[in-house]
Amino acid sequence: MTPERTEPMTAARRLDTKQKRALVLAALDALVEAGRHPSIAEVARRARVGRKFVYDHPELRAEVELRAAQSAARQAGEMAASAKVSGASLRAELENARAQNERLTRQLRALERRLSQAEGAHLVADELLPEGALAELADRQLAERLTELDCQLFEAKEQLRETTEELEAARTINRELMQQANRARRAPGPSGPHTTKEERP
């Protein structure tokens, strides 16, 4: 083939290569900006070029792997920071729930003592007060007081139950966040599943 014919073909191939490189880099930028973890296969698919093109250009392959590693490190850092903030918030809520639980427990015990004292007073009144209006009035007052204390005791038990459930839920969420942070810190680095040439189909 004469030089006059080969030069235009060579120029066309160079232009095609240049355009494909630009498409690959644009696709890589788009994936990173979208928060995706770029891989050679995904970059090639979005750029509409063959994966062989990326593998055949070491500088493109190195750029994809570098951006993938940076993306993974950034995501791991964000997850760890989020878990740290959420963990601190949950620990504060946990301490508040514990304090409220202790207050409710003390209130419940005080109500139980008062209820016991009221029931004892009711028995004493039955034995000491004479029959008639005074005994009936005392009976009614004691019955009303017992009813009031029963209601307070029931409400305190319900609050204690709800606080205990919230406390357990906070502990569960805290454990899950800590596990996510640990998994993020153990995330694979640049030598991930798309870094070897042998994995090309």
C-alpha distances out from residue 167 to 127, 159, 178, Å: 47, 12, 17
- The domains of the chain, with CATH numbers, are 3-74 (no CATH), 87-185 (1.10.287)
Residue 177 corresponds to which tokens in the numbers above? 């966040």
- pTM attached to this predicted model: 0.34
CA 81 to chain centre: 11
Task: List average pLDDT for each run of 10 residues in the chain, which is 201 residues long.
Answer: 56 76 89 83 89 88 87 76 67 78 84 78 59 62 81 84 84 83 68 43 38
